[in-house]
DNA sequence: CTGTTAGCGCATTCAG
DNA sequence: CTGAATGCGCTAACAG
């Protein structure tokens, strides 16, 4: 059913029907109700393309998916998307996932813009001098960044306090008496990874403790790398008595490594993991329950969608910056260092 | 830049430029090249909405996301989406994720159709008499189902051999000498869940063994439920000496439960998990390495996208049915039952 | 091989 | 308060 047909049914013009449906004030109340009812009855809904062509707004925001399987499409992504979609539905916007072709991410972003399929873009996983951010800023295309960069030109972003999270966790461990604390985090170059390392270093330096570069590991997030890297760390002498894990997946691997070395988790070796809050993988239900620096990536997604809508509504991007605090939740996987019983 | 401007630049008509860009045969080769170059140079790309309005095809396929956090948006989803998107990019199609509003899923599907934002839909997680399938079939709207139903009306689907997977796994365990095998799978009502239970039962019945209903558990997939249910199962006397886990998340919980009860995994209690193949959570890297019934949900996503494209191209849906075999990969978490040493 | 013309379905001027 | 006419940018007959 199209607008014209609906209008004919009602004996009204397309214009009036359109106005009634879109909530224009100058329509008679009785008429509006009659139109609404008929629309419902016939299951009429405007052809999105025609509508968009006419009003010049797309009604969708885009996010690029890396084609490459490895790095970025993990459980975080799905939680984040979920938050995005939840919020966007409130604004009757769609979420368009476009896979980037040929590893040429920048070209994919350009194509997304020039084909006018989205009103705005969400950018995730930035590096310190992210070229996508630079490009989009220069092109003046609306976007919100999940994370931060060192790029000076104003742009909208939301990030969690990664440095604070790792500083807090490291400080806590040091205060408990640990003297050898290691961290296994995500790949180098990404802002979050650099910030976390900064926080970790700050906590050590603050106490006048040395930084051992062997104890700072940057790797892909997965149980496998967590396992291997933790095994390696634990084979040093002296080995770390506490390990920070950059993700829950990493943490699972670290848990296994500690057990396979015969250490008691939470006593001989402590673990604090960063938890993006997965409904299907709960830190408090592990054995022992895992101490985490916790921040909901789903909420971040939701909020970012909201911010992008505001950008689209014309709010100046230099006003749109948020840093979310990260909460340290103490559970059983961390405690004072206890020497092995052997 | 719009088509008209590009045409003016080149001193050609819109038509010719359009044809050149869209690969129509009747264009002079030299002209076509000149046009392509210019398009590249000016960064021209057709306005997707105008194009779609004119051609009547949307160029996107839709998938509904449950708004509810709990059940279906887990790690499986992200892998599946990833496969979809990968394939769709080859056809220059977008993936539209629309969140369902107010728990009224059916209405959300209707809205998605009537607003003409997608050419086709992908439906996942069906129940045996899935109402979405019934509705879409009746509305003659193109879709492909991931999974199966008992609905007779012809429709396109792709499913893995869930019954076979659990039959195979159960048979293997029984052949090893296990006499008490339990299963912890997804929620009842879902086809995959019913099929898996069927497979499990068949293996027992084939050997004349009794089915103990206490040993059949249907719950949400998560490490937490895996843990709790496995603990419960292991508290029975006699307790199961082998447990089938419906997902990797469940399996993680089951692992923990077995350890917390002091049993040796792979010896005193065996575990076989269904593995949808997550790049960040690898069965072979667990300790002990986990025996799995394995099937790539990412590949399934990719193939389903391909099938939907074929449906859109007019291929009769009654021809589009695929059942993928599931491979049993033996590793260390399963073995002959060994009595506890106490 | 190329150009002219007429919609695709809607929102919006501008008149009534 | 309502309607008739115009255009959003593109593709697809239909002519040349």
Residue B311 is assigned to a structural domain of this protein: yes
> In this structure, are B22 and B96 located in the same domain?
no
Assess if residue A340 is contained within a domain. Answer: no
**Residues B91 and B307 sit within 8 Å (Cβ to Cβ):** no
- Rama region for B262: left / alpha / beta (φ>0; ψ in -120 to 50; rest): left
Structure-token pair, residue B246: 């419906």
Cβ-defined contact of B115 to A47 (cutoff 8 Å): yes
Residues whose CB is less than 8 angstroms from the CB of residue B281 and which lie 6 or more positions away in sequence, other chains included: A222, A223, A249, A252, B75, B248
- B111 Cα to chain A: minimum distance (Å): 7
Q: Which residue minimizes Cα–C1' distance to C6? A: B54
Task: Calculate what percentage of chain B has a pLDDT beyond 90.
Answer: 57
Mutate to test the interface with A, among B40, B45, B48, B92 (most CBs of A within 10 A): B48
DSSP states along B237-276:
SSPPSEEEESSHHHHHHHHHHHHHTTPPBTTTBEEEEEE-
On whether residue B51 sits in a domain, the answer given is no
Q: Domain for residue B330, yes or no? A: no
The confidence band for A30, taking pLDDT boundaries of 50, 70 and 90, is: confident
| Whether residue A120 is found in the same domain as residue A210 | no
Q: Are residues B138 and B229 in the same domain?
A: no
| A86·B99 Cβ contact <8 A | yes
Asked whether residue A280 carries a pLDDT value surpassing 90, the answer given is no
Cα torsion angle, A84, A89, A93, A97, sign? positive
Tens-digit pLDDT profile for residues A287-330: 788 999 999 999 999 999 999 999 998 899 999 999 999 999 99
Distance CA B121, CA B133 (A): 11
Average pLDDT over residues B194-220: 97
Domain total of chain B: 3
For residues B12 and B31, is the Cβ–Cβ distance under 8 A?
yes
Is B207 an 8 Å CB contact of chain A? Answer: no
CB contact under 8 A, A115 and B52: no
Give the residue from A320, A311, A324 showing the smallest Cα distance to A61: A311
Residue B185's domain comprises 162-296
Residue B207 has pLDDT above 90, yes or no: yes
What's the mean pLDDT in A268-281?
A: 90
Is residue A333 over pLDDT 90? yes
B116 to A49: CB separation less than 8 angstroms, yes or no: yes
A211 shares a domain with A133: no
- Indicate whether B171 and B259 sit together in one domain: yes
The answer to whether the CB of A281 falls within 8 A of the CB of A275 is: no
Mutation for testing the B interface, residue in A49, A186, A305 having most B CBs under 10 Å: A49
Q: Are residues A174 and A281 in the same domain?
A: yes
Tokens of A41: 């009855």
How would residue A71 be classed by pLDDT, with cut points 50, 70 and 90? low
Confidence of residue A153 (pLDDT cuts 50, 70, 90): very high
B88 at the A interface (CB within 8 A)? yes
Any domain includes A336: no
The CA-CA-CA angle for residues B297, B65, B134, to 5°, reads 85
* Interface membership of B227 toward A (CB under 8 Å): yes
In a domain, B268, yes or no: yes
Residue B117 has what pLDDT? 83
Residues 231-270 of A with CB under 8 A from B: 249, 252-253, 256, 259-260
For residues B120 and B190, membership in a common domain is answered with no
DSSP B47-94: -HHHHHHHHS---EEEEEEPSSSSSS-SHHHHHHHHHHHHHHHHTT-E
Cβ neighbours for A86, distance < 8 A, ≥ 6 positions apart: A298, A301, A302, A305, B67, B99
In a domain, A135, yes or no: yes
Are both A195 and A310 inside the same structural domain?
A: no
Q: Is the pLDDT of residue B301 over 60?
A: yes
Phi, psi of A198, deg, nearest 5: -55, -50
Q: Look up the pTM and report it.
A: 0.86
Q: Whole-angstrom Cα distance, residue B208 to residue B100?
A: 46
Judgement on whether residues A268 and A244 belong to the same structural domain of the protein: yes
Query: How far from chain centre, in Å, is Cα A168?
Result: 21
In the predicted model, what is the mean pLDDT of residues B3-22? Answer: 89
Measuring from the CA of residue A116 to each C1' atom, give the nucleotide at the shortest distance. D9
Clarify whether residues B149 and B169 are in a common domain.
no
For residue B156, give the CATH number of its domain.
Answer: 3.40.50.2300
Interchain CB contact of B323 with A (< 8 Å):
no
Claim to verify: residue A241 and residue A307 sit in the same structural domain: no
Q: Residue A329 domain-assigned?
A: no
CATH code, domain carrying A28:
1.10.260.40
pLDDT at A249 over 80: yes
Residues B204 and B249 placed together within one structural domain of the fold: yes
* R_g (Cα) of chain A, nearest Å: 25
């Amino acid at each position: 059913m199209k607008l014209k047909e609906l209008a004919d049914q009602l004996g009204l013009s397309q214009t009036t029907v359109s106005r009634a449906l879109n909530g224009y004030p100058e329509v008679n109340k009785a008429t509006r109700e009659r139109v609404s009812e008929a629309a419902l009855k016939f299951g009429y809904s405007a052809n999105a393309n025609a509508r968009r062509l006419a009003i010049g707004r797309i009604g969708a925001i885009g996010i690029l998916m890396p084609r490459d399987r490895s790095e970025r499409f993990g459980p975080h992504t799905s939680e984040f998307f979920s938050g995005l979609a939840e919020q966007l539905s409130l604004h009757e916007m769609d979420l368009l996932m476009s896979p980037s072709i040929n590893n040429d991410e920048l070209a994919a972003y350009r194509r997304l813009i020039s084909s006018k399929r989205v009103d705005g873009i969400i950018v995730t996983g930035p590096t310190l001098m992210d070229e996508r951010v630079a490009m989009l800023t220069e092109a003046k295309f609306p976007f919100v960044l999940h994370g931060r960069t060192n790029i000076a030109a104003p742009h909208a972003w939301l990030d969690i306090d990664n440095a604070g999270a790792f500083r807090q966790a490291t400080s806590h461990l040091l205060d408990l008496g640990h003297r050898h604390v290691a961290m296994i985090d995500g790949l180098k170059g990404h802002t979050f990874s650099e910030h976390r390392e900064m926080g970790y270093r700050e906590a050590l330096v603050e106490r006048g403790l040395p930084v051992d570069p062997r104890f700072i590991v940057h790797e892909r997030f997965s149980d496998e790398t967590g396992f291997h890297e933790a095994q390696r760390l634990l084979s040093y002498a002296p080995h770390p008595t506490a390990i920070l894990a950059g993700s829950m997946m990493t943490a699972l691997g670290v848990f296994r490594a500690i057990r396979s070395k015969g250490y008691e988790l939470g006593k001989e070796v402590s673990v604090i993991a960063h938890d993006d809050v997965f409904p299907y993988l709960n830190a408090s239900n592990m054995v022992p329950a895992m101490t985490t620096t916790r921040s909901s990536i789903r909420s971040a997604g939701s909020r970012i969608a909201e911010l992008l809508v505001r950008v689209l509504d014309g709010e100046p991007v230099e006003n749109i910056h948020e840093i979310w605090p990260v909460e340290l939740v103490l559970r059983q996987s961390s405690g004072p260092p206890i020497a092995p019983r052997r």
